[in-house]
């Protein structure tokens, strides 16, 4: 009888769980303990009322972007939301500079609940960035997985203590693999300088945002980046002033500094059957003149240019990027030995300039992303990259020119014949 009752009780419990849409196996669903963690830290200070983003207030733009980000967050990411300046509207600095609240805990994302929390936010108080960063670090915990803070603000810290840059350095020194990325909704130099300092202290990035679409896209990108293995953490290197003295680098993300007018060289070994993909970015972390450009070149052993990528622009910018692709064919044998690898030199240069009052040292930050992937199998695919391998393109141009010439000659004779007949 006792056994029968226990079985009946167990069956009832199981039926109740099924009726509620819950089964024991689902209890373990959701992000694992080692999954990446991201906390979005949003400035909700009074200045977020300003209406200068696509005709709406900064707060409305941020709320719209957050809703899109919440919808796009992968299931494998544990997401949290913290605010600063969202509660206290008064003038007491001591109180206002401790106004930071975790609106949504870091963990499995309930999209409806998270959106509800964001929808209730209204521009209110001070801008205690340093205090909020310490709180976000505690929110993320240290139970495994990558740790990232994304700070969105429209101004510099209004409290002074603790200094946000000092807090970022303090958190980086803890060795908990924390990255802080910053997004600025205001464009003044002081805000730019402070947010750049915070980001650089932890290996993060700084971005100026002018439109809602840019804000949403950048936050989505950073949330997705949290899933990237830690091996993609940028590694420092120092390029040489000539190919012969260049350091050898491999696949990964590399950082350097390059002064105005300087050229930097790096070596990469590309095995037969591989394709080199390289992208270089130069950041304008200080006031620069309005016209600028960037050039990335791949050069062979004999000094001949293999392929290049370039871009140029004018006006205010935060970063300028360009890239290239260069495949090495397999040849007669499919060898993977390092002895058969081809040495390719990458040259990175830029045409940024600045007024004489702007400091030259240290140089502008350079980020070089290198990847080595399987090369395209078809020779016609190889011909598509760079003029050095563009025989197919050249043949197409020759044939096109020949056909066009024949047609033009025939039309000319036809017109002359008609003119004589009349």
Give the model confidence (pLDDT) of 160-207 as tens digits.
888 999 999 888 877 677 889 999 998 888 888 899 889 878 878 888
Question: 314: closest CA among 273, 284, 270, 334?
Answer: 284
Q: Which residues pair with 152 in a beta bridge?
A: 42, 183
Question: 123: closest CA among 40, 44, 57, 43?
Answer: 44
> Is the predicted pLDDT of residue 232 greater than 50, yes or no?
yes
Q: What's the CA gap between 255 and 257, in Å, rounded?
A: 7
% of the chain beyond a pLDDT of 90: 45
pLDDT tens, position by position, 94-143: 999 999 999 999 999 999 999 999 999 999 999 999 999 999 999 999 88
Q: For residues 274-283, give the mean pLDDT.
A: 87
> Is the predicted pLDDT of residue 208 greater than 90, yes or no?
no
Q: For residues 81-86, give the mean pLDDT.
A: 95
Domains with residue ranges and CATH for the chain: 30-230 (3.40.50.410), 234-375 (2.60.120.380)
Model confidence at 369, pLDDT cuts 50, 70, 90, reads confident
Question: 147: closest CA among 228, 218, 226?
Answer: 226
């Amino acid at each position: 009888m006792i056994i029968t009752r226990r079985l009946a009780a167990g069956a009832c419990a199981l039926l109740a769980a099924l009726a509620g849409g819950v089964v024991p196996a689902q209890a373990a669903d959701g992000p694992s303990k080692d999954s990446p963690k991201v906390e979005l830290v949003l400035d909700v200070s009074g200045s977020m009322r300003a209406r200068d983003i696509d005709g709406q207030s900064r707060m409305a733009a941020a709320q719209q972007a957050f809703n899109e980000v919440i919808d796009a967050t992968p299931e494998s990411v544990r997401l949290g939301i913290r605010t600063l300046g969202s509660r206290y509207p008064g003038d007491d600095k001591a109180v206002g500079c401790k106004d930071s609240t975790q609106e949504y805990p870091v963990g499995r994302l309930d999209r409806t609940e998270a959106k509800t929390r964001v929808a209730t936010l209204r521009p209110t108080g001070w801008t205690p960035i340093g205090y909020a960063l310490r709180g976000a670090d505690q929110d993320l915990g240290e139970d495994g997985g990558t740790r990232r803070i994304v700070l969105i603000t429209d101004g510099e810290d209004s409290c002074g203590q603790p200094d946000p840059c000092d807090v970022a350095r303090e958190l980086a020194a803890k060795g908990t693999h924390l990255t802080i990325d910053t997004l600025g909704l205001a464009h003044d130099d002081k805000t730019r300088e402070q947010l750049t300092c915070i980001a650089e202290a932890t290996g993060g990035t700084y971005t100026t945002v002018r439109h809602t679409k840019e804000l949403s896209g950048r936050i989505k990108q950073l949330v997705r980046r949290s899933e990237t293995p830690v091996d993609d953490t940028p590694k420092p290197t120092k390029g040489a002033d000539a190919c012969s003295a260049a350091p050898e680098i491999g696949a990964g993300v590399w950082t350097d500094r390059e002064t105005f007018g300087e050229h930097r060289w790096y070596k990469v070994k590309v095995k037969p059957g591989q394709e080199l993909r390289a992208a270089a970015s130069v950041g304008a972390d200080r006031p620069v003149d309005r016209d600028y450009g960037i050039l990335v070149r791949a050069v062979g052993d004999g000094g001949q240019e293999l392929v290049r990528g370039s871009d140029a622009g004018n006006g205010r910018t935060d970063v300028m990027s360009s890239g290239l692709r260069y495949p090495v064919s397999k040849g007669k044998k499919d060898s993977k030995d390092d002895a058969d690898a081809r040495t390719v030199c990458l040259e990175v240069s830029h045409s940024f300039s600045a007024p004489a009052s702007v400091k030259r040292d240290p140089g502008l930050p350079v980020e070089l992303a290198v990847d080595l992937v399987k090369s395209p199998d078809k020779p016609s695919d190889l011909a598509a990259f760079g003029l050095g391998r563009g025989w197919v393109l050249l043949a197409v141009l020759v044939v096109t020119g020949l056909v066009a010439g024949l047609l033009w000659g025939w039309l000319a004779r036809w017109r002359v014949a008609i003119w004589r007949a009349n």
